[in-house]
Structure 1
């Protein structure tokens, strides 16, 4: 039986208690909060993750969409722009194009 988003979040939070500087656990926590629609906490954990790790671009998807759903439009645009930069820096052209498309659809 698959684990529920709440159970996954509880497990990840327990891991954070053991190591609060584990970047990838923060990523997982952010993703879990996004799926649970706790967007403020999602954004909070993305910010912590990005202080600890150089993301290849994927985290900017949930960060940008969470900010959009919160109505924080300028921050959302910046998140997607940073996602383009990260994706290009790590040679993920498809991801960069996805973010450019989102910017065009949402902000232009």
Structure 2
């Protein structure tokens, strides 16, 4: 995690690094920090969305039992994935969304 944070200090806009940091937090069992990092990534990458961030954020929110927030993130993610023509991610997010609504 420290390595990724050091690289992000050099290039704070690197979406792949930020996503990797979020996944490290999830692997460590810190879903709350995973969500914080992913929400930051989503906000930073608004002009060029990083589609996997929406799915992972939704999943982490579900694990935290924050289903209303998860549904909101996933709905947005479904739209973003559709615009990006990432139909696989769109289907995964729609499936998760359907399971929590």
What TM-score does the superposition give when structure 2 sets the normalisation length?
0.86
Task: Summarize the alignment of residues 1-108 of structure 1 with structure 2, pairs less than 5 Å apart.
Answer: 9-53=1-45, 54-107=48-101
Cα distance between partner residues in 1 of 2:64 and 2:37: 15
The ranges of structure 1 where at least 4 consecutive aligned residues each deviate by more than 4 angstroms after the TM superposition are none
**Count of aligned positions:** 99
RMSD, aligned α-carbons: 1.5
Q: Any conservation in 2 of the 1:43–1:66 contact (CA below 8 Å)?
A: yes
CA deviation map 1:41-93 (0-9, x unaligned)? 11111111112113242111110011111111110001111110111010012
**Which of the two has higher C-alpha Rg?**
1
**Residue ranges of structure 1 left out of the alignment (5+ in a row):** 1-8
